[in-house]
Amino acid sequence: MKRIFGILSLVLIFSTYSFAQQPSMVQRGQRGYTAPMQFDNTAYIKLTDPVEETQRVLEKCVSAFNLDDFQKEIMKNILTKRFEDHNVILSDEDNTKDLRRKKIEAREKLFVIELETIITRDQVEQFKDMDFSETKEDKKKKKKRKRKRNKDS
């Protein structure tokens, strides 16, 4: 009986010490250690510069719709207000994702109504379909990257 009790106590002690050293988990100084991921919630909300965005969008609108100077100034004011309101909605931390989406959709409806005072409905639809994400500089950078990749290959 004493022998069995002694053996069980030794097994219990050795198993406790082996789990204390954590052989199953990779520790910090060992190979294969990767730091736990840290999520940054601010990365998902991107605020833009209203003046810069307005200039980029306005260039394409003037060339696409043949706007005169008066229409151009009104369009500039409307676009600036749109981007500023968009930033205000996104920067408000009290809003949830769904509430932000609803506010942005409501703001877009007002924006379309304001646009219809300057340009026709067909042009508004054309405006919605336009891609404002790429600029001439972005296209040049992409071409340079493609050239470098082709030279390396």
Give the model's pLDDT for residue 28: 64
Question: Of the given ranges (18-22, 36-40, 80-84, 123-127), which has the lowest mean pLDDT?
Answer: 18-22
Cα dihedral 18/20/22/28 (nearest 10): -140
Question: Three-state SS for 34?
Answer: coil
What is the per-residue pLDDT across 49-108, written as a single tens digit (0 to 9) for each?
A: 999 999 999 999 998 899 999 999 999 999 999 999 999 998 888 888 889 889 999 999
- Annotated domain spans of the chain: 68-134
**pTM score:** 0.60
Nearest to residue 100, comparing CAs of 141, 41, 145? 41
Share the mean pLDDT of the chain.
81
What one-character DSSP code corresponds to residue 43?
A: G
* Token code pair at residue 127: 């405006």
Closest CA to 52 of 127, 137, 139: 137
The tens digit of pLDDT for each residue in 129-144 reads 888 776 666 666 666 6
Does the pLDDT of residue 10 top 70, yes or no? Answer: yes
pLDDT class for 37, splitting at 50, 70, 90? confident
The pLDDT of residue 138:
64
Cβ atoms within 10 A of the Cβ of 81, count?
16
Exposure on the CB side of residue 54, measured as CA atoms within 13 A:
18
- Kindly state the average pLDDT of the residues 6-19: 76
> Quick one: pLDDT at residue 142?
64
Nearest-angstrom CA–CA distance, 48 and 62: 21
